A and B are shown apart, each in its own frame.
Chain A
Amino acid sequence: MAIFVAKRLAMMMLTMVAASFLVFAVCEFTPGSVARKSLGPFATQEQVDFLTKKLKADDPLLVRYGRWAGVLLGIIPDPLQDPSTGLNFKDPRGAQYFGNFGYSTLNKLPVNDVIWSRLGNTAILAGLAFLLIVPLSIVFGILSGLKEGGVLDRLLSVICITFTSIPEFASGVFLVTLFVILWPVLPGTSPLDSEGGWSVPSQLVLPVAVLVIYDFGYVARMIRVSMIGVMEKPYIRTAVLKGMSTRQVVIGHALRNAMIAPFTVLLLQINFLISGVVVTELVFAYPGFGRLLLDASLFGDIATIEAATLITVAIAVTTQFVGDLGYMLLDPRIRLR
């Protein structure tokens, strides 16, 4: 067990290093320099050249990646905070500390000042969506998995498939048309403050709905497959042959076993929700992590993109890890490799 955990932790670290390097390399394709981005489009070439030299931004990719990693780990101070750059960048936490994501060239603020509150806002959005997705998809999945190919199964399946086929921007458009314009009972944007006359909970309804619509059908399909698999198992057949009622069979035997695989599936939705929020947050002007990531990607703000990548990858590998652990606990027959 300890070896398993250690191996997985090592793998997580490796994944994060590789992912951050990949992103670094991809950002190389963006035209333009860090210096130009720090100074804005209307700065003189002279000034850009000066700062490029100062930041050693002409160094080879590996050297710069090493420097970025050094800043993150607190081994070296952030070069952008050097007063001689003239950028006036100052992180209240200091220039050198562990977990220093550096300075955002987009927001001209330390990444740590911006990203965590945005992540918090997104956690609320994704968390609420998750709370709705779980029961909805379980009910749909189990009901349609009970009798494969039955009328109920067909009906629910078609509903689920239809909902998964609606991209978030499309459901956003439909919902805004219905509940903001035609029947104005909900606010059209979610700035998360109540001074516009709408309470914060009311601002969460539409964004959460959009996420649920796109995702629940998919999870329900997964649970259905799992349920069908369980219902075909010999012990269920035996139970039925013994004359137990369907209700007894389902609650007593099938449910627990059918939940093993979807448990992982459900956990992995957290990972999906992180990317699903990008569009939703744009549609509803929600000040969250997804919009920050979108802005940073469009701007080519490497520090913010890297921070966001590490956070999302960390969330992904952690949920995967928790999923596997849970899998193991729920089903002792599964051996870990």
Chain B
Amino acid sequence: MSALVEQRAMEATAVKATGRARLKWARILRSPTAMVGLFLVGFWVVAAILAPVLPLYSPTEQDVMALADPTPSAAHWLGVDILGRDELSRLIFGARTVLVVAPLSVAVAMIVGITLGMIAGCYGGWIDAVISRLSDIILAFPVLVLYVILIANIGPSIINIVIATTIASAPGIGRITRGLVLGLKEQEYIAAARLRAESTLYIMLVELLPNCRGMLIVDACLRIGYTIITIGILGFLGLGLPPPNPDWGGMVKESTTVLNVWPLMSVLPSIAIVSLVLGFNLLADGLREAWKP
């Protein structure tokens, strides 16, 4: 997804969001979209956490007998994949991977991006210029192209996906943060802090960050969604996490060959990805509404 578009739209909204925004919990609870989002995300999170204690098959155990008819049965509720591995178990264990990798990648990207954006916004001048120009360069890459080039060259692994996400997302996050900081800088309480001769670091961490929080959390939710899609795409392109770890995108790729006889094998992991991404997107939407001043 185009980070540029996103970042511009966020900047536009960001200006409105300045001021001491307070999260209105009640609004979230009343928003049906947010609740559906929370439910979808919550479902996968709980499933992922409980995976080791649930009465599931091992996600790598191959059941030859089940291959004769891989469709859902009493033994395998959602059927088995083309190597006779339990589909339900692979979906749930697959959620573990994706729910660790995507938020982790986004968290690292947020740390890098927010730091850069804060620095650019607070100091301005040539520091701002350098950071902004560098961001422009990376933002000029179509995101998926950037991912494919990076992962194909440095190899697929969790750490490399984190690196790629950071490179691809940090500039966009930086731009949003910078925009927010520029808006907040003129507020009285920041001026007051400056008068108190607080250090820049203190202002950044204690005064600015908490007030950017709302927009950044919304942004993080959206980014986690995109990162899940991207991890799925990488898996589908054969650049996913190494097998036999269950990987939703890889599961779709493996089973496209049996699409016309056992469509469920491709459709189930597709639905898993869609539901989790949808969850994060709805959640982001709900949060955005809730944070409106």
Contacts and interface: CB of A to CB of B under 8 A. Distances in A.
- Decide if A and B are genuine partners: yes
Secondary structure dominating the interface of B = helix
Category for how many chain B residues contact A? 35 or more
A26 B149 contact: yes
A107 interface: no
Interface stretch (A75-83, A246-254, A273-281): A273-281
A5 interface: no
Contact of B141 (A11, A168, A278, A312): A312
B278 A161 contact: yes
A165 B277 contact: yes
Interface stretch (A86-94, A98-106, A264-272): A264-272
A19 B137 contact: yes
Given A177-B259, A309-B141, A316-B142, A161 B282 contact: yes
Nearest to A293: B145
Interface string B7-48: 011001100000000000000000011000000000000000
Contacts of A308: 145
Given A272-B5, A313-B141, A161 B285 contact: yes
A169 B274 contact: no
A18 B143 CA distance: 16
Nearest to A315: B142
Contact of A15 (B2, B4, B137): B137
B252 interface: yes
Nearest to B154: A29
B9 A265 contact: yes
B233 A272 contact: no
A165 B149 contact: no
A61 interface: no
Contacts of A11: 133, 136
Contacts of B142: 271-272, 274-275, 312, 316
A300 B153 contact: yes
A170 B33 contact: no
B291 to A, nearest CB: 14
Given A177-B267, A261-B12, A313-B141, A278 B148 contact: yes
Interface in A152-182: 154, 157-158, 161-162, 164-170, 173-174, 176-177, 181
Contact of A167 (B33, B266, B273): B273
A169 B232 contact: yes
Contacts of B237: 278-279, 282, 294
Interface of B: 1-2, 4-5, 8-9, 12-13, 32-33, 133, 136-137, 140-145, 148-150, 152-155, 225, 229, 232-233, 236-239, 249, 252-253, 256, 259-260, 263, 266-267, 270-271, 273-274, 277-278, 281-282, 285
Given A15-B137, A309-B149, 20 more contacts: A15-B140, A19-B141, A27-B149, A154-B32, A157-B285, A167-B229, A167-B233, A167-B249, A170-B232, A173-B270, A181-B260, A225-B13, A265-B5, A271-B4, A272-B142, A279-B144, A294-B148, A294-B237, A297-B148, A309-B145
6 contacts: A11-B133, A19-B137, A29-B154, A154-B33, A181-B259, A272-B5
